[in-house]
Amino acid sequence: MRAVYNDDEPQNRPNTAMKSPGKPKINVKNASKGELMRLPGIGNKLSNKIIAYRSVHGGFRTIDDLQSVKGIGVKTVVKLKPYASVYD
Cβ neighbours of 44 (radius 10 Å): 10
- The tens digit of pLDDT for each residue in 32-57 reads 999 999 999 999 999 999 999 999 99
Span 25-85: which CATH code?
1.10.150.320
Q: Is the dihedral of CA 73, 86, 79, 52 positive or negative?
A: positive
CA angle 86, 79, 56 (to 5 degrees): 40
The pTM assigned to this predicted structure is 0.74
Interacting residues of 39 by C-beta distance below 8 A, sequence separation 6+: 18, 19, 26, 28, 80, 83, 84
* pLDDT digits 0-9 by tens, 76-85: 999 999 999 9
